[in-house]
Amino acid sequence: MLEARDLYSFYGKSPVLQGVNFKAGKGELFSILGRNGVGKTTLLKSIMGLTDGIKGTLRLKEESIGDLPTPERARRRIGYIPQGRAIIPRFTVKENILMGAFGREDGRREMPEGVLELFPILKEFMNRRGGDLSGGQQQQLAIARALALGPEVLLLDEPTEGIQPNIVQQIEEVIVHLNKKMGITILLVEQNIPFARRVSDKFIVLDKGRVAVAGSAEDLTDDVAHEFLAF
C-alpha cells in the first residue's frame, strides 16, 4: 500500500530522515516509534509532502507520489491527523468535519458514514465551535474530519498525547475499529508501547533519523523498548 525506499527528508538543506525504508501493506496497522526528536513526525509530514523536500522513493499502491503536491496526495485518499490536531477554532464541529471532505476526488461534501456512531459527543456538539471543545473532544473531531476524506491510508501523530484518560481508551478502540473493521491502513506514531504491541502488525523504531529496529509486534521486546524508547 505505502512504501519508502532510501528516503531522505529535508528542512532547508539539513536531512532529518536518512535512508529510511519501510513497507506498510494494505489493511495493516504500522507503528512508528522512537524517542522525541528522532524524526517520527517528519516521516508523516514527508508522506504528506509537508517538508522542504525529499530524496529517494515514496510509493502509494505502486504509484510514485514523492513529487506530488500535498492536495494531490490527499486526493489519493491519504488522511492526516497531525500532532496538536489543527482544529479550526472558529469553525463549528460540523464545519470542521466537512473541511476534510474538500480533499475528496469525487467531490462529495458530506458527513462521513458512521462517524457520529463512533463519536456520539460530536453529534451533541455539532453546532459548537471547535475551539470550545476539550482536548479529547478535539482529537475525536480531528479523526472525524480525516474520515470525511474517505481515506484508504490514515496517518495519526500521537493521537492520545495530552488526552484525559477516560478518552484515551475510546480513541484507542476507534483506531482498532478503523483498522480491523473498516480495513483502513494506519500509520501510527505512538509513545504507548503496550498499545503498539497489542494492535500493530509491523513497526519501525527511528533513532537519529534512521531505522534502528523493524519487525512485527512480537519483535517489539522489552529490550528494544529499553534501548530505544525509554526516557
pLDDT at residue 107 in the model: 67
The C-alpha cell 531522505 sits at 8
Q: What is the rounded distance in angstroms from the CA atom of residue 34 to the CA atom of residue 208?
A: 9
pLDDT at residue 151 in the model: 93
* Angle between helix 165-176 and 135-147 (nearest 10): 20
Per the structure block, which three cell numbers stand in for 179?
483498522
Indicate the number of domains in the chain.
1
Q: What is the rounded distance in angstroms from the CA atom of residue 180 to the CA atom of residue 176?
A: 6
With the C-alpha atoms ordered 29, 30, 35, 40, is the resulting torsion angle positive or negative?
negative
Q: What is the rounded distance in angstroms from the CA atom of residue 18 to the CA atom of residue 36?
A: 16
- CA 193, distance to chain mean position in Å, is 16
The C-alpha cell 479529547 sits at 136
Which residues does residue 11 pair with via DSSP β-bridges, in sequence order?
A: 14
For residue 179, give the CATH number of its domain. Answer: 3.40.50.300
Q: In a structure prediction context, what are the per-residue pLDDT tens digits for the chain, which is 231 residues long? A: 899 999 999 999 889 999 999 999 999 999 999 999 999 999 999 999 999 999 999 999 989 999 999 999 999 999 999 988 889 999 999 999 998 888 777 767 777 778 888 898 998 999 999 999 998 899 999 999 999 888 999 999 998 888 888 888 888 999 999 999 999 999 999 888 888 898 999 999 999 999 999 999 899 988 988 888 876
Residue 130 near residue 93 (C-beta atoms within 8 A): yes
Q: What is the rounded distance in angstroms from the CA atom of residue 73 to the CA atom of residue 92?
A: 26
Give residue 212's domain range.
2-229
Sheet of 14-24: strands edge to edge? 14-24, 2-11, 53-60, 63-64
